[in-house]
Amino acid sequence: MAASIDLIKQVLAEVVGQMLGKPAGTIVTRVNNLVYGDYTTNIAMLIFKELGEKSPMDLAQKLAEKLQKSELANSIRLSLL
């Protein structure tokens, strides 16, 4: 069973806040097509420059690794969609 969207937002906000060094809001939504998973966020696209990353995908990979450590998800997949 997937974690609740509120829990995902909370954990993602904590991870992003730690990376930014300040509180962060996040947008997490349910996907329309479950082929792509349960939830989605574009936070990496929004903040990669602020964190000095080369690309949103580089930041997304770092976020995914941190979220995996939280035991929040069974798997985290990155997408260019």
Interior angle at CA 38, CA 13 and CA 18, nearest 5: 15
Flag whether 78 is in a domain: no
Total count of domains within the chain: 1
Task: Report if pTM > 0.75.
Answer: yes
Flag whether 75 is in a domain: no
Is the distance from CB of 48 to CB of 56 less than 8 angstroms? yes
Flag whether 26 is in a domain: yes
Mean pLDDT for back-to-back runs of 10 residues, the chain (81 residues): 79 92 90 85 93 94 86 71 57
Query: Which pLDDT score, from 0 to 100, does residue 2 have?
Result: 59
